[in-house]
Every structure is written in structure tokens, then in C-alpha cells.
């Protein structure tokens, strides 16, 4: 899991499955997939969005793409 936001920026209800994109050496990479957000709503202070770390599910993603 990866937590991001929590200041004044976070995902909203309905954003599940959306990406957490991070810039590394001038290129953007998907580092996470939105798992859940605060029940208090969007952009709630100290309530970060929780993402599934893409690198932890990469073998599953590759196998699923190849088999479909």
C-alpha cells in the first residue's frame, strides 16, 4: 500500500482504480492504483488516499494481460 495526499489533495468517492502517477527522471510512471479514500469526502486534511502499489501486483497484471 502507498498513502498519498493528506494535505489538501486527495481522491474522491468514485475514483477507485485511478492511477497514482509519479515523475521520475522526467518521465511519469504509475506507482499506485486507488484502493480507497476517506469516508469524510474529497480533499480532507490529514486523510490521505490509499493506493495499491503497482510493483506488488505486477506479476499478476502481466499474467492477466498475456492470458487475455
Report the alpha-carbon distance of residue 31 to residue 42 in Å, rounded: 21
What pLDDT, on the 0 to 100 scale, is given for residue 33?
A: 94
Q: Map out the domains of the chain with their CATH numbers.
A: 2-67 (2.40.10.10)
What pLDDT, on the 0 to 100 scale, is given for residue 27?
A: 98
Report the alpha-carbon distance of residue 60 to residue 68 in Å, rounded: 12
Q: For the whole model, what pTM was predicted?
A: 0.77
Beta strands in the chain (DSSP E): 2-4, 19-24, 27-36, 49-53
pLDDT of 17-65, one tens digit each? 999 999 999 999 999 999 988 788 788 788 888 999 999 999 999 999 9
Residues 6+ apart with CB under 8 A from 48: 3, 4, 5, 6, 10
What pLDDT, on the 0 to 100 scale, is given for residue 4?
A: 85
Mean pLDDT of the 8-17 span:
83
| Cβ atoms of 32 and 54 closer than 8 Å | yes
Amino acid at each position: 500500500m502507498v498513502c498519498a495526499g493528506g494535505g489538501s489533495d486527495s481522491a474522491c468517492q468514485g475514483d477507485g482504480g485511478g492511477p497514482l502517477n509519479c515523475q521520475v527522471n522526467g518521465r511519469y510512471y504509475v506507482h499506485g492504483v486507488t484502493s480507497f479514500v476517506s469516508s469524510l469526502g474529497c480533499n480532507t486534511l490529514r486523510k490521505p488516499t490509499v493506493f495499491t502499489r503497482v510493483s506488488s501486483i505486477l506479476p499478476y497484471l502481466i499474467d492477466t494481460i498475456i492470458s487475455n
